Amino acid sequence: MQLPDEDDLAQSLKEAQQRQRHPRAPVRIADVMSRLMARKGYAQLQQGLQWEAAWAAAAGEQLSKNSRVGKTNRGVLEITARNSAVLQELTFQKQKLLKKLQTAAGANNLRNLRFRVGEID
């Protein structure tokens, strides 16, 4: 068996002392998970799925089939309509839809809806 020389012992002692100067506090698993979800974008994905479910309930079968929920930005939810006729109907029902979305999603931070025409997958 080979014995460690003095340089190895000195280096090990120095590393141990440095670790003692900067000890790490334990991190809660909830904090680690929230950072991971934010970094990977899972929170936005989950929020998008919640908006889709709330939109289907608020708009009804016919309108939700011809429209799609987009992104939220500063309390404004973007809705894409299949054509201008659907867009006009959504505009007529805007206040009713907004109130339904606020109650269904429990989102007090939702302030407005923005409609636009685009492709629906």
Find, among 25, 36, 41, 114, the residue nearest to 77 by Cα. 114
- 88-95 mean pLDDT: 95
Mean pLDDT of the chain: 83
Pairing of strands 112-117, 76-81: parallel
- 13-33 mean pLDDT: 77
Token pair listed for 18: 């440095």
pTM over 0.75? The answer is: no
Token pair listed for 20: 């003692």
**Angle subtended by helix axes 94-105 and 42-65, to nearest 10:** 140
The ranges assigned to domains in the chain are 49-121
**What digits encode the pLDDT tens for the residues 51-78?**
888 899 999 999 999 999 998 888 899 9
Q: 49-121 domain in CATH 3.40.190.10?
A: no
* In contact, 104 and 54? CB cutoff 8 Å: yes
